[in-house]
Structure 1
Amino acid sequence: MVEHTSSYSKNKENKMKKNNLLKKFLYSQKTAPYVFVLPFLLSFCIFWIYPFSSTIVMSFQDIQPMGTKWIGLGNYRKLLADKVFLQAVGNSVMYMLLTLVLLIPFPLLFASLLDSRLVKAKGVWKALLYIPSLTSVVISGTLFRMMFSERDGSQFNLILNFFGHGKIQWLKMYPTAYFALLLIACWRWTGVNMLYFLSGLKSIDTGLYESAEIDGATGWQKFMYVTIPMLRPTLIYVLTISIYAGLAMFLESFMLWGNSSPYNIGTTIVGYLYRRGIEKNQMGYASAVGLVLLIIALVINMIQLVLSGTFKKEES
């Protein structure tokens, strides 16, 4: 009985020591930051590092249902001779450039107007411009596909009929097809970029505008020499995410054409990846396509970051 009691007390004492050590470890100022960062590190390794490394390995393989074969650079050599892939790259780059032309100047203009005293009911305008971004891409893509249908009753053909013009096959020609894609992009993302710019404008010291006004600066001069330089971090951020979003566009095109557009006018890099990897079960080839997309996005963003002076050392 005495031995049983002593062993019980020893076990209890050992548990208390372990609990105290655990508390010291968790509440230590040295280990606490690592404990808080651990969930992010685990999720980063599981959902990014592992898939990324697997994609690199798969891009050098020919993956079939019956087995996997190492083919080295075979997928990449095949990509260079793939006309559909090259067309998809051209389509994605063209879409990216056109969205940059539209989704940076106009949201900046709208943000400047909302930040000025010229516009009333600012909250209403913010809500109206931001609400489209909350709409599902599936819903908005379906609506736009119906609006740009080649039937006589589609909205845009009705507008053409009103002006005495015949119906157009909007989604089967390059100019009108890109007009539909760009209209979806502008409708959905103008409000988002506008809010980015608006938050940047709110952080600018109003004293700078007052000083410029005292020196006789016009509204345009204040915009060019005060607003634009002070908005530089926001502009670089919006430009960076817009480049990647333009190159990685897929759902909008998929909802308009279903990944089988005539003459591949709506095929993008991600759409071609989906076609090869999911529809044709060529995961090795699709992995190579995905890595090429990543390299293109990184190269373009690195170039624009260097040109914008992001990596320059600030003068002391």
Structure 2
Amino acid sequence: MANSSPEIVKSTELKGNTKRSSVLYSQQIAPYFFVFPFIVSFFIFFAYPVFSAITMSFQSVLPGQVEYIGLENYRDLWNPTFMKALWNSTKYTLFTLLVLIPVPLVLAVFLNSKVMVAKNFFRSTLFIPALTSVVVAGTVFRLAFGELEGSLMNTFVMWLGFEKQRWLGQSGLAMFTLVILAAWRWIGVNLLYFMAGLQSIPRELYESADIDGASTWNKFSRITIPLLKPISIYVFTISIYGGYSMFTESYMLWSGNRSPNDIGLTIVGYLYRNGLEQNNLGLGSAVGIALLLITFVITIGQLKLFGMFRKEE
């Protein structure tokens, strides 16, 4: 048989390379190729742990012994300690929402104003606390809000003529300390979100409003607030999640997971107490699933309330 000519071989190799290239650069395959790493990480680091937690929540998990006990963990879950942890987390979330939504929004409007000076300085100053380790921040705040007369906050209140306070020993003051710590750390982050949203609002809208004689409040309420709705809902959502998942701040303020009368106990702290400190992984998993369901219901509810599932006309 005669040998194939070099032109035929070259043409065949070219067709093969072209076919492989068309597969690699296919518009149908490319999206799956780029999404594949996220899908793998999602199943490994989220779906599988959630499935395992659901399974363990129906088990009694002890060293070397695993036994299915049905809904027993969920029956044991509804106790006064869990209800107090749930109430503490809910109060903390509500108070942080009252601070971490309006304050960064107003600050962002000021920093986005043309008359504002030293904008970069204030942006950097407000964002620096977010770069601080929560362990370091919790330790510093524990010292600043100490019970001794020489602590920073007691020195300040005594200078104003009041008596020294047990900041971390009373329920109301303890919650106040936690909210102040959250505000100090996260106002700068939410500020950046609102700043990004303000940058996307066309300047022509404000110029048209100025021509029509609109006041500063009218421009803020009728232009800024409506057009910042997607950013506001996003910040609101992550703030809810951050509030209910708070643990390290409380742990560092009280140098552990045991605050007086559990005034600093959160849902995640209760999960940590049962799952790791008491080696009751079954009950700890039930606490985690309850937390997941609570945050899911609240998040879906607020998204529904703000019309995020409504089709735009």
Q: TM-score, normalised by structure 1?
A: 0.90
In structure 2, what residue type is equivalent to 1:294?
L
Q: Which moved more, 1:217-226 or 1:34-43?
A: 34-43
Provide the C-alpha distance between the structure 2 equivalents of 1:27 and 1:115, rounded to a whole number of angstroms: 42
The match for 2:205 is: 208
Provide the C-alpha distance between the structure 2 equivalents of 1:30 and 1:204, rounded to a whole number of angstroms: 34
Q: Deviations over 1:23-59 (max 9, x none)?
A: 7754544433333322222211111111111011011
Structure 1 segments, 4+ long, off by >6 Å, are 19-24
Indicate how the Cα distance of structure 1 residues 24 and 207 shifts in structure 2: closer, same or farther if over 3 A, else same: closer
Stretches of structure 2 lacking an aligned partner (at least 5 in a row): 1-12
The match for 1:37 is: 35
In structure 1, what residue type is equivalent to 2:64?
M
Provide the C-alpha distance between the structure 2 equivalents of 1:71 and 1:172, rounded to a whole number of angstroms: 39
User: Could you tell me whether the CA contact under 8 Å between 1:64 and 1:282 is conserved in 2?
Assistant: yes
Provide the C-alpha distance between the structure 1 equivalents of 2:26 and 2:206, rounded to a whole number of angstroms: 49
Q: Deviations over 1:211-238 (max 9, x none)?
A: 2222221100110011000101001100
Q: Output aligned runs, 1:269-284, within 5 Å.
A: 269-284=267-282
Provide the C-alpha distance between the structure 2 equivalents of 1:22 and 1:54, rounded to a whole number of angstroms: 40
In structure 1, what residue type is equivalent to 2:175?
Y
Stretches of structure 1 lacking an aligned partner (at least 5 in a row): 1-15
User: Could you tell me whether the CA contact under 8 Å between 1:63 and 1:283 is conserved in 2?
Assistant: yes
Indicate how the Cα distance of structure 1 residues 162 and 302 shifts in structure 2: closer, same or farther if over 3 A, else same: same
Matched residue SS, 1:171: coil
Shift of 1:175: 1.5
How many positions carry a matched residue from both structures? 298
The match for 2:92 is: 95
Provide the C-alpha distance between the structure 2 equivalents of 1:302 and 1:271, rounded to a whole number of angstroms: 24
Q: Deviations over 1:44-94 (max 9, x none)?
A: 1111111111011011111111301111111111112x1100000000000
Indicate how the Cα distance of structure 1 residues 285 and 314 shifts in structure 2: closer, same or farther if over 3 A, else same: same
Provide the C-alpha distance between the structure 1 equivalents of 2:253 and 2:295, rounded to a whole number of angstroms: 24
Q: Tell whether 2:269 aligns with 1:255.
A: no
Q: Output aligned runs, 1:1-316, within 5 Å.
A: 26-80=24-78, 82-257=79-254, 258-315=256-313
User: Could you tell me whether the CA contact under 8 Å between 1:26 and 1:35 is conserved in 2?
Assistant: no
Q: TM-score, normalised by structure 2?
A: 0.91
Identity across the alignment (%)? 53
Q: Which moved more, 1:138-147 or 1:294-303?
A: 294-303
Indicate how the Cα distance of structure 1 residues 173 and 50 shifts in structure 2: closer, same or farther if over 3 A, else same: same
Provide the C-alpha distance between the structure 2 equivalents of 1:125 and 1:187, rounded to a whole number of angstroms: 14
In structure 1, what residue type is equivalent to 2:190?
N
Q: Deviations over 1:262-303 (max 9, x none)?
A: 010000000110111111111110111011111111111111
Provide the C-alpha distance between the structure 1 equivalents of 2:28 and 2:151, rounded to a whole number of angstroms: 65
Provide the C-alpha distance between the structure 2 equivalents of 1:24 and 1:219, rounded to a whole number of angstroms: 56
